[in-house]
């Protein structure tokens, strides 16, 4: 058995026609000038890839290159140095496997995004050091204060009324209540436990139970570590996409990686909202208030921002629709 190909001395770019055979643990390269032997143990044989020429690099840097992949594989088999990498070659050369790999890849990525990452992010987020989380809150707050919100104008009495309501929620020792103004009726929870309530929201609320509903929703975000879970899961999506298709040098690269990241992140936040909503209804019930209080304040907030409907489809929104959220407490007693 032998393979014909070309021999390069490794010193010059000129090639010589040659034949190759394997004999007693030695590769023999025969050219017009004669025969050279190289120890098979110290020879690097490139792994087979499609129909690419096969390259044997000998210990002195000279090379033998041949298109006869089968002959090289056959000789390697005879010489007892069979290579397992032929499994990969076999997978790559078969359309059936390619289609199967495609289906499995899409399935695996979908599973990782929807189930795997959320499952892993939960314990990691719960064990993040509090010092770091509080620093994150500080950064976000200073960013908000710089550009978005204004200092509160609520009186001390009003502030402590809201603080007292927050006291009624489990885990209130972890919350840090702040008041700000200037973005309309709104409230938000940061990863480290900071809960921001706007003046406009306090003024909008008809009674304490509506404020309790809002605070309980935000407490749901804090207790569920939603902020950090969201950060971790989104980072995970980006990392997976970049790791799998990252070796691109194309303009579309950016779009391809960032679009799924954004869409997936929005789906995560919508789920967190639903979780926080459920938590709010639960708190209202244990505190003897009607879950309808949550629906009530939601509708008021929506109305206060001006009645307009969005042109965006549902999967582009950060929150579930107000109708969906309010419907979950339909049939409960009216809020008082």
Partner 1 sequence: MDTDSTTLAQPGSVAAAPPVPMRFVGSGGEYFRIWIVNILLTIVTLGIYSAWATVRNRRYLYGNTDLDGHVFDFHGKPTTILKGRLIALVVLLAIYFGEFLHIMISLLVPLALILAFPWILVMTLRFRLSNTSHRGLRFGFDATVGQAYRRLLPVLLLGTMVIAYMLLGLDWLIPMVVGDDTEQQLTVFFSGYLIAMVVALLIVPMFAHRVRDLMVNGCRYGQHRFRADLRLSKFWGVFGMTLLSGLVAGILAGIAVTALVFSTIDPSELEALPADSQSELVQSDPGTADSGFQQSPAPAEELSPEHARLLTQVFLMYLLVIPLYMFPFAVWRCGVLNYSYSATRIEDVRPTLKLNPWRYWGIMVTNGVVVLATIGLAIPWAKVRMMRYQLSCMSVAGELDQFIAGARRYTGATGEELGNVFDFELGF
204-263 positions binding partner 1, by CB under 8 A: 214, 217-218, 221, 226-227, 230-231, 234-235, 239, 242-256, 260
- Nearer Cβ to partner 1, position 207 or 318? 318
Q: Are strands 15-23 and 3-8 parallel, antiparallel or unpaired?
A: antiparallel
Q: Is 149 helix (H, G, I), strand (E, B) or coil?
A: coil
The span of 20-28, 59-67, 76-84, 157-165 binding partner 1 (CB under 8 A) equals 59-67
Site track for partner 1 across 151-190, x = CB under 8 A: --------------------------------xxxxxxxx
The span of 20-28, 68-76, 119-127, 320-328 binding partner 1 (CB under 8 A) equals 320-328
- State how far the Cα of 197 lies from the Cα of 195, in Å rounded to an integer: 7
DSSP conformation letters of 14-25: -EEEEEEEEETT
- Nearer Cβ to partner 1, position 79 or 188? 188
* Sequence-separated (6 or more) residues with CB below 8 Å from residue 34: none
- Nearer Cβ to partner 1, position 30 or 319? 319
Question: Token pair of 193, please?
Answer: 């436990």
- Nearer Cβ to partner 1, position 163 or 256? 256
Is residue 61 within the footprint of partner 1 (CB under 8 A)? yes
- Nearer Cβ to partner 1, position 240 or 292? 240
Q: Are strands 54-57 and 194-198 parallel, antiparallel or unpaired?
A: unpaired
Q: Are strands 54-57 and 63-66 parallel, antiparallel or unpaired?
A: antiparallel
Name the residue with tokens 């104008």.
153
Q: Is 6 helix (H, G, I), strand (E, B) or coil?
A: strand
- Nearer Cβ to partner 1, position 6 or 172? 6
Q: Which of residues 9-38 bind partner 1 (CB under 8 A)?
A: 9-15
Q: Are strands 194-198 and 176-181 parallel, antiparallel or unpaired?
A: parallel
| Residue from 136, 154, 284, 335 binding partner 1 (CB under 8 A) | 136
Q: Which of residues 63-92 bind partner 1 (CB under 8 A)?
A: 63, 65, 88, 91-92
Q: Provide long-range contacts, Cβ within 8 A and 24+ apart, for 251-260.
A: 260/113
The span of 68-76, 150-158, 281-289, 312-320 binding partner 1 (CB under 8 A) equals 312-320
The span of 24-32, 58-66, 72-80, 150-158 binding partner 1 (CB under 8 A) equals 58-66
* CA–CA–CA angle 225, 297, 177 (5° rounding): 45
């Amino acid at each position: 058995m032998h393979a014909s190909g070309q021999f390069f001395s490794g010193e010059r770019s000129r090639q010589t026609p040659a034949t190759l055979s394997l004999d007693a643990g030695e590769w023999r390269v025969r050219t017009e000038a004669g025969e050279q032997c190289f120890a098979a143990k110290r020879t690097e044989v490139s792994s087979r890839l499609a129909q690419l020429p096969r390259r044997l690099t000998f210990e002195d840097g000279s090379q033998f290159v041949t298109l006869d992949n089968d002959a090289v594989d056959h000789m390697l088999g005879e010489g007892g140095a069979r290579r397992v990498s032929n499994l990969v070659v076999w997978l790559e050369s078969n359309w059936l496997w390619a289609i199967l790999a495609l289906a499995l890849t899409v399935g695996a990525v979908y599973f990782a995004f929807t189930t795997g990452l959320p499952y892993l992010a939960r314990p990691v987020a719960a064990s993040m050091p509090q010092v770091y989380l509080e620093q994150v809150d500080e950064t976000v707050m200073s960013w908000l204060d710089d550009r978005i919100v204004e200092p509160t104008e609520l009186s001390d009495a009003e502030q402590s009324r809201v603080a007292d309501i927050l006291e009624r929620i489990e885990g209130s020792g972890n919350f840090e209540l702040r008041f700000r103004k200037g973005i309309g009726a709104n409230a938000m929870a940061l990863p480290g436990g900071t809960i921001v309530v706007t003046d406009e929201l306090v003024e909008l609320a008809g009674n304490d139970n509506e404020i309790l509903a809002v605070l309980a929703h935000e407490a749901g975000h804090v207790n569920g570590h939603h902020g950090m879970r969201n950060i971790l899961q989104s980072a995970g999506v980006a990392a997976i996409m970049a790791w799998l298709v990252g070796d691109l040098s194309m303009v579309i690269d950016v779009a391809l990686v960032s679009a799924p990241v954004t869409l997936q992140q929005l789906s995560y936040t919508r789920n967190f909202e639903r979780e926080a909503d459920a938590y709010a209804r639960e708190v209202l019930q244990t505190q003897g208030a009607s879950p309808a209080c949550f629906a009530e304040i939601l509708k008021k907030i929506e109305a206060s921002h001006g009645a307009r409907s969005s042109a965006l489809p549902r999967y582009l929104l950060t929150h579930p629709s107000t109708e969906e959220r309010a419907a979950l407490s339909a049939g409960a007693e009216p809020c008082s």
